[in-house]
Amino acid sequence: MKAIVVREFGDPEVMKLEEVPMPEVGASQVLVRIKAAGVNPVDTYIRSGWYPSKPSLPYTPGKDGAGIVEAIGEKVNRFKPGDRVFLSGSITGTYAEFALCDESEVHHLPENISFEEGAGVFIPYATAYRALFQKAKASQGESVLIHGASGGVGIAAIQWAKNAGLKVIGTAGSEEGRKLVKAQGADFVFDHSKESYSEEVLQVVPEGINIVLEMLANVNLIKDLDLLSKFGRIVVIGSRGSLDFAPRLIMTKDAVIFGMSLFNASSEDMNEIINAIEDGLKRGFLKPVVGKKMPLELAYRAHHEVIEKKAYGKIVLIP
């Protein structure tokens, strides 16, 4: 089968399309024919070699994907060959024609969700759910600033938050991104590259924001604390650098700043997340936005774009 293989950590160009042996299916494993693989920023951090938990080389990147069950081990009872599924991880990596998974990493994909959309489900929707509900404990009627709403996690957060009855303020750095955020149901949309965006936010929520989901904390954390209401909560989802700030800002508002890494979720929390995602996909209020499809061999280009270009939903790779 064909798969992207990384033989040394480094720039996106270290990812090469190779012919590799088909994995053998163990007793509680599922072999999935990948129809689309989701590209996440974390895939680029791992490939570059600086991410704390690194796979041993060589490896095939990719955590998200969707496809059709090809074969099952003798102890697998939730799936049969031919089932449509999305993945919450795999043993062999999703940037490939097939991925070998533990049964627990495989989930039924409803008919109303395409494979390309299914490839954009797990990391974005699980992250947004954990941030909003397991960390910030969002409740109906509260306001949420989704700071970076045009990408995978941001779009997912808009959908979760609107369904839960929150007032949503989203930001994006491009005109197209802002149109997308508005079309997804955000009540207000601002441009995070404009110096004046925080005044604009306070014009529409003068009492201050209850919850901030922050995709780039090293840039925005100080302004977030200015925008926050008393007892507000900030969830740091993404950060790509450091900053110097006065902790007094947290004190004066009785604010709470949560850090989160999806991979720290307990199995109990993860079960809650997966159940909520399956329910939301079936009911139709969760639907990933696929901004770009690229052939598998262009994985290197997808890694450049997910970091360097303005976001517009998900980038997916098609084997």
Which position has the token pair 């901030």?
Answer: 212
Among 150, 159, 184, 198, binds ligand NAP (CB under 6 A): 150
Is residue 222 near ligand NAP by the rule CB under 6 A?
Answer: no
Q: Name the closest residue to ligand NAP (Cβ).
A: 151
Beta-carbon contacts of residue 195 (< 8 Å; ≥ 6 apart): none
Among 205, 220, 225, 228, binds ligand NAP (CB under 6 A): 220
Bond prior to 58 in cis (omega within 30° of 0): yes
* Integer Rg of the chain from CA: 20
* CA distances in angstroms from 200 to 158, 167, 169, 170, 310, listed in the order given: 19, 15, 11, 12, 21
Between 230 and 309, CB nearer to ligand NAP: 309
Contacting ligand NAP within 151-210 (CB under 6 A)? 151-154, 171-174, 177, 192
* 221 touches 232 (CB < 8 A): no
State in Å, rounded, how far the first CA of the chain is from the last one. 10
Q: Could you tell me which residues are beta bridge partners of residue 318?
A: 295
- Name the segment binding ligand NAP (CB under 6 A); options: 19-27, 57-65, 120-128, 201-209: 120-128
Between 76 and 172, CB nearer to ligand NAP: 172
Is residue 1 near ligand NAP by the rule CB under 6 A?
Answer: no
Between 78 and 223, CB nearer to ligand NAP: 223
Determine the 3-state secondary structure of 98 from DSSP.
strand
Between 99 and 289, CB nearer to ligand NAP: 289
Binding footprint of ligand NAP on the chain (CB under 6 A): 40-42, 123-124, 127, 147-154, 171-174, 177, 192, 215-216, 219-220, 237-238, 260-262, 306, 310-311
